[in-house]
């Protein structure tokens, strides 16, 4: 990964905040594409990876992420493919707000438990206590009315997306090298292409072609290529605890857009479940700093 020396703390805060907001907006753009373009979640993910890989390949060599070992590149690409494709599927079947909140909520909980079981990290009282509101929040979210047509499937895919992100984190903690490189995005693209053709192809079948092209270009650049670079640059100056809390801007952004622009309902169960879930994540973030 490219190093980012002497990044001011305030700039680091802004970089990570911008990345989190970009990821939240990216979920909204993906939800819009799934509604209007005729593309399925796998095809949208293919475009996201393809655009990001192409943009990275066109960058000067000094501006790219370091390639790293080939095995690390393949594993990172597989992890990104599983997590991102499952996330887009959760958005399609459960709605943007619910899919994003469950994905973001499941990741830290699974990471904390996995670090304890697989890496021997101590599971402290605070981490164990944080699991209680997290599970309660997830239960409320699952029970809440969803905006998508198949909420149970959407929630299952959201948990799978969180598990994919958790797996990459645990692998990196265990000595692996997870980097968002051209090779990683290309690996993810090649893994998903066969499934995309089975799903219905990778070419848009409906909607305004100009708007669809613009949305796909935005999805591959801002919430993928740029957001990852902003995030890693910010980590050079901001402690992990603070970064984990700032990333909560992603579900907040996605939920706001879902309610304000996409017409998804804001029910008491969704609001209460979100509050419990975000509180649990904040507690886990303080634990991991």
The three-state secondary structure class of 171 is helix
Q: Copy the structure tokens of residue 246.
A: 């700032």
CA distance 28 to 250: 11
Check residue 1 and give its pLDDT.
43
Check residue 98 and give its pLDDT.
78
Q: Copy the structure tokens of residue 30.
A: 């993906």
Q: Minimal CA–CA distance to 134: which of 102, 157, 158? A: 102
Check residue 248 and give its pLDDT.
65
Check residue 243 and give its pLDDT.
59
Report angle CA 222, 41, 143 to the nearest 5 degrees: 100
Q: What are the average pLDDT values for consecutive 10-residue runs of the chain, which has 289 residues?
A: 57 83 88 89 92 87 66 83 87 82 74 74 65 68 69 88 77 60 87 88 87 94 86 67 62 75 73 73 58
Q: Minimal CA–CA distance to 103: which of 255, 264, 267? A: 255
Q: Copy the structure tokens of residue 8.
A: 């001011």
What are the backbone dihedrals phi and psi of residue 123, each rounded to the nearest 5 degrees, phi first? Answer: -90, 100
End-to-end alpha-carbon separation of the chain, Å? Answer: 21
The three-state secondary structure class of 189 is helix
CA distance 79 to 161: 9
Check residue 136 and give its pLDDT.
73
The secondary structure of 244-263 as a DSSP string is HHHTTHHHHHHHHHHHHTS-
CA distance 79 to 286: 26
Q: Minimal CA–CA distance to 1: which of 182, 245, 242? A: 182
Q: Contact, 140 vs 272, CB < 8 A?
A: yes
DSSP 6: T
Q: Contact, 45 vs 246, CB < 8 A?
A: no
Q: Copy the structure tokens of residue 73.
A: 């590149």
Q: Judge if pTM exceeds 0.75.
A: no
CA distance 195 to 202: 10
CA distance 186 to 26: 20
């Amino acid at each position: 990964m490219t190093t980012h020396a002497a990044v001011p703390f305030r700039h680091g805060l802004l970089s990570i905040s911008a990345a989190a907001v970009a990821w939240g907006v990216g979920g909204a753009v993906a939800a819009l594409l799934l509604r209007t373009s005729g593309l399925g979640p796998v095809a949208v993910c293919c475009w996201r990876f393809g655009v990001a890989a192409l943009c990275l390949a066109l960058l000067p060599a000094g501006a790219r992420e370091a390639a790293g070992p080939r095995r690390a590149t393949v594993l990172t690409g597989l992890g990104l493919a599983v997590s991102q494709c499952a996330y887009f599927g959760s958005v399609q079947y459960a709605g943007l707000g619910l899919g994003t909140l469950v994905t973001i909520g499941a990741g830290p909980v699974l990471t904390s438990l996995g670090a304890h079981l697989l890496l021997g990290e101590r599971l402290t009282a605070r981490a164990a206590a944080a699991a209680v509101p997290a599970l309660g929040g997830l239960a409320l979210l699952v029970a809440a009315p969803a905006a998508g047509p198949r909420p149970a499937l959407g929630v299952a895919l959201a948990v799978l997306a969180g598990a994919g992100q958790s797996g990459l984190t645990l692998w990196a903690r265990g000595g692996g090298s997870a980097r968002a490189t051209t090779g990683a995005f290309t690996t993810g693209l090649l893994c998903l292409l066969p499934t995309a053709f089975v799903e219905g192809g990778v070419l848009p079948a409906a909607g305004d072609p100009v708007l669809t092209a613009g949305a796909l270009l935005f999805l591959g650049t801002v919430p993928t290529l740029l957001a990852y670079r902003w995030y890693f640059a910010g980590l050079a100056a901001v402690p992990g605890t603070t970064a984990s809390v700032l990333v909560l801007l992603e579900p907040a952004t996605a939920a706001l857009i879902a309610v304000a622009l996409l017409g998804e309902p804001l029910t008491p169960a969704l609001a209460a479940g979100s509050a419990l879930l975000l509180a649990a994540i904040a507690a886990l973030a303080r634990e991991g700093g």
